[in-house]
Structure 1
Amino acid sequence: MTTSTEPRPSLNQRMRGVSLEAVGFALIGLSGVVVNFAVFWICVNGLGLASLRSNIAATVVAIATNYLGYRYWLYKDRDAASRKREITLFLLFSGIGMLIETGVLGFSVYVLGLDSHYEQLGAKVAGLAVATVFRFVSYRTWVFKALPDLEEPEIVAEAELLLAAEDRPAYTN
């Protein structure tokens, strides 16, 4: 069994990594926000759709563009062994984020009576901010999981035990 003599990254180094990840998340998210607001504005003003329908359509288009950015740029080095699982979780958490965003918009329009286009955009910004925090935490925690650090002694020991168990001959009666 091998052990690593390299020290674990310091808290400062780990926070720097999270900070860089947050910047990448923000850049992709910003492009998604531009797509989201553009589609929302077109749906409300150009097509005359209701605000909640417009929000759902805009968010679905933004989710699709964001997935491409997250998978192929920001989280390209993350475990992609199960794309079906990843896409399912991405869509689940994106859908929850969409419900958060649409809920804030619906509350402001139908409960508070803020129904001018600019008030709707303000509510959309507020809902998007809350949903973004939720998405960041859920994507990095459950969707785009980091590959295990193979230098960790516990993981190496566990892998060696699994390999040893596979090498044993099967007992038959």
Structure 2
Amino acid sequence: MDFIKPLYQRFEALLRELTKFGIIGALAFVLDTGMLNLFLMLGQGPMTSKVYAAVVSTTFAYAGNRFWTFRHREQSGLGREYFLFFLLNGIALLIGLLVIGFTRYTLGLSDLLSLNIANIIGVGLGTLFRFWSYKKWVFLEATEPIPTELPDAEVRQDR
């Protein structure tokens, strides 16, 4: 059992990031699915509904990942990060749209259950791409160690 501790220590940061990424992703997924179903019930088409839902859930996910999941990583500018985040989410959205489009227009399935299953598969495939791409291009490794605690201030007394 002594081999487990070094193994855990080696992957501790990755496990912490994956856990936080998973929590933000799960919340964004609930938001995405809820919005998708809302727009479908309001009479929007499946592709339009997915785009609207993705814009809302992606905005939520950016804030959660920037300020919680990857807060320990270097901040390379809000504009740059936001642009890359949405660009990469656009690619992930395309993955999801391909799955939904295949389900609706190739398989001819248009019921809510089929579209929701297609959405789950598309989100799953997109999530794999997003985690890899965020770490690679959006939330970069810090070039200098970021302190975990504020340094203790020395108390000076003038005499």
Aligned twin of 2:137: 142
Runs of 5+ in structure 2 lacking a partner? 1-5, 146-159
Of 28, 32, 37, the match for 2:28: 32
Pairing 1:124–2:119 present: yes
Q: What is the Cα deviation at residue 128 of structure 1?
A: 0.5
Q: What is the Cα deviation at residue 11 of structure 1?
A: 5.8
Equivalent-residue separation in structure 1 for 2:14 and 2:22 (angstroms): 12
Pairing 1:70–2:72 present: no
Pairing 1:44–2:40 present: yes
Runs of 5+ in structure 1 lacking a partner? 1-9, 151-173
Letter in 1 for 2:120: V
SS for the counterpart of 1:131 is helix
Equivalent-residue separation in structure 1 for 2:128 and 2:74 (angstroms): 22
Pairing 1:61–2:56 present: yes
Q: What is the Cα deviation at residue 12 of structure 1?
A: 4.3
Equivalent-residue separation in structure 1 for 2:90 and 2:76 (angstroms): 23
Q: What is the Cα deviation at residue 40 of structure 1?
A: 0.6
Percent identity for Structure 1 against Structure 2: 33
Of 89, 96, 105, the match for 1:101: 96
Letter in 1 for 2:34: A
Pairing 1:16–2:12 present: yes
Letter in 2 for 1:75: F
Alpha-carbon distance change, 143 to 81 in structure 1, aligned in 2, over 3 angstroms: closer
What is the CA deviation profile of residues 112-151 of structure 1, one whole-angstrom value per residue up to 9, with x for unaligned ones? 112111000000000110000000100111100110256x
Letter in 2 for 1:117: L
Letter in 1 for 2:25: G
Of 77, 81, 93, the match for 2:76: 81
Q: What is the Cα deviation at residue 85 of structure 1?
A: 1.5
Structure 1: 4+ residue segments shifted above 3 A: none
Aligned twin of 1:168: none
Q: Which has the higher mean CA deviation after the structures are superposed, 111-120 or 74-83?
A: 74-83
- What RMSD over aligned residues (CA atoms) do the two structures have, in Å? 1.4
